[in-house]
Amino acid sequence: MAIGALTPPQDEMPQREALVEFPDNRLLIDLCGEYDRNLTDIEQKLSVQIVRRGNQLVIMGEEDAQKQAIEVLQALYTRLEGGRDVEAADVDRELRMGNSEVGTGSRDGDQLEMFKGGTVEIKTRKKLVEPRTDAQKAYVQSLFNNELAFGIGPAGTGKTYLAVAVGVSMFIGGHVDRIILSRPAVEAGEKLGYLPGDMKDKVDPYMQPLYDALNDFLPGKQLAKLIEEKRIEIAPLAFMRGRTLANAFVVLDEAQNATTMQMKMFLTRLGEGSRMVITGDRSQVDLPRGVQSGLADAERLLKTIPNISFNYFTSKDVVRHPLVAAIIEAYEADAGRETG
Average pLDDT over residues 332-340: 68
pTM of this structure: 0.74
CA dist 49 and 69 (Å) reads 10
Q: What is the pLDDT of residues 256-304, one digit of tens each?
A: 999 999 999 999 999 999 999 999 999 888 888 889 999 999 999 999 9
Per CATH, the architecture of 2-97 is what? 2-Layer Sandwich (3.30)
Judge whether 165 and 157 are in contact, CB under 8 Å.
no
180-235 pLDDT, tens digit each: 999 987 654 444 455 555 556 666 777 888 999 999 999 999 999 999 999 999 98
**Residue 111 contacts residue 144 (beta carbons within 8 Å):** yes
Q: What is the mean pLDDT of residues 308-332?
A: 83
Domain ranges within the chain, ordered by starting residue: 2-97, 112-339
Amino acid 339: pLDDT: 59
Report the CATH fold assignment for 112-339.
Rossmann fold (3.40.50)
pLDDT tens column, 136-189: 999 999 999 999 999 999 988 999 999 999 999 999 999 999 999 999 876 544
